[in-house]
Amino acid sequence: MMKSNLFLFLFAILPFIVFSQNGNSISSGGKGAAMANTSVTFQDVFALTKNQAGIAFIDQTSVGILGEQRFLNSDIRHTGLVAAMPLRSGTFGVLLQSFGFDAYNEQKIGLAYGRELAENFAIGIQFDYLNTRIPEYGNQGTITFEGGIQAEILENLWIGAAVFNPIRTQDQDSMGIVNTTKFNLGFSYLFSKKILLAAEVEKDFRENAAVKFGLDYHIVDPISLRVGVGTAPTLNSFGIGIHLEQIRLDFAASYHQILGFTPTFSMSYHFRKNSSK
């Protein structure tokens, strides 16, 4: 009975989730979630979820975990594990993530590489294995890739662009699940050491373009306050970040006007700087 009710709930909210094996993370960690997912220019280990060029700029081996509970429903979760290691030849990363519940589950495994080609200009690519499991129907897997670029075009002004599944490996698989193509284009500007503004346009081939804005205010060491707004669907978000010497904790909540709140948490640990890079 519980599974039957959960199927009905999932069917009702599916147009709002926009995550039917499109392979993209629901959020890019607590920081991204708090800023309406305006994360295409972010440069940390969670860049593996959105724009792999961002890992090219990190100089510490880093690992991170993230968790998200959609619309406060304990049965619909998104979890992820990310890790990145910078070397002289570039930065290598791995991503593992899962979304869903017992009767419907999606997994993604990604292997990434990011490299700085010139000062403040980097590219990144990631090869993905996507798998959807529905016990009544079995498993369906596919392989695709994604990648992006980041560049500082003016002092403190960064642009980022990313694409997922550019060749559309499958329009629809044998289980009727669509693999979409998605583009993200955005910028971020650091007004001062305390204020970061980010804006982004996201286009899913199946949906209308979404426009998002995010603000990060470094109120005092080690605390940052964040807010964000977005369209398609209308979304409001907020959160807090606590950045210690080697550990970063980020908490966020986003509000959908129909379905309610989605809390997000992420934590990352940064090892000592890698002297080999």
**Is 79 within the bounds of a domain?**
yes
Q: Does the pLDDT value for residue 209 go beyond 60?
A: yes
**Is 7 within the bounds of a domain?**
no
Longest dimension (CA), the chain: 58
How many separate domains does the chain show? 1
**Is 177 within the bounds of a domain?**
yes
Q: What mean pLDDT comes out for the span 31-37?
A: 96
Q: How does the average pLDDT of the chain come out, rounded?
A: 87
Residue type, 273: K
Query: Which of 24 and 220 is assigned the larger pLDDT?
Result: 220
Predicted pLDDT at 239: 97
**Is 23 within the bounds of a domain?**
no
**Is 129 within the bounds of a domain?**
yes
**Is 9 within the bounds of a domain?**
no
CA 47 to chain centroid: 7
Q: Using a pLDDT cut of 90, give the percent of the chain over it.
A: 67
Please tell me the least confidently modeled range out of 43-52, 77-86, 162-171, 265-274.
162-171
- Which residue in 113, 116, 178, 115 sits closest to 142, CA to CA? 178
How far is residue 96 from each of residues 64, 108, 156, 166, measured CA to CA in Å?
Answer: 11, 6, 32, 21
Q: pLDDT by residue (tens digit) across 229-249?
A: 999 888 999 999 999 989 999
Question: CATH number of the domain that 51 lies in?
Answer: 2.40.160.60
Predicted pLDDT at 75: 74
Predicted pLDDT at 24: 55
Predicted pLDDT at 109: 97
Between the ranges 98-107, 138-147, 154-163, 251-260, where is the mean pLDDT highest? 154-163
Predicted pLDDT at 104: 84
**Is 229 within the bounds of a domain?**
yes
**Is 128 within the bounds of a domain?**
yes
Q: Does the pLDDT value for residue 7 go beyond 70?
A: no
Q: Does the pLDDT value for residue 117 go beyond 70?
A: yes
Pairwise CA distance, residues 145 & 84, whole Å: 18
With beta carbons less than 8 A apart as the criterion, state whether 147 and 124 touch. Answer: yes
Domain housing 108 = 28-273
With beta carbons less than 8 A apart as the criterion, state whether 165 and 129 touch. Answer: no
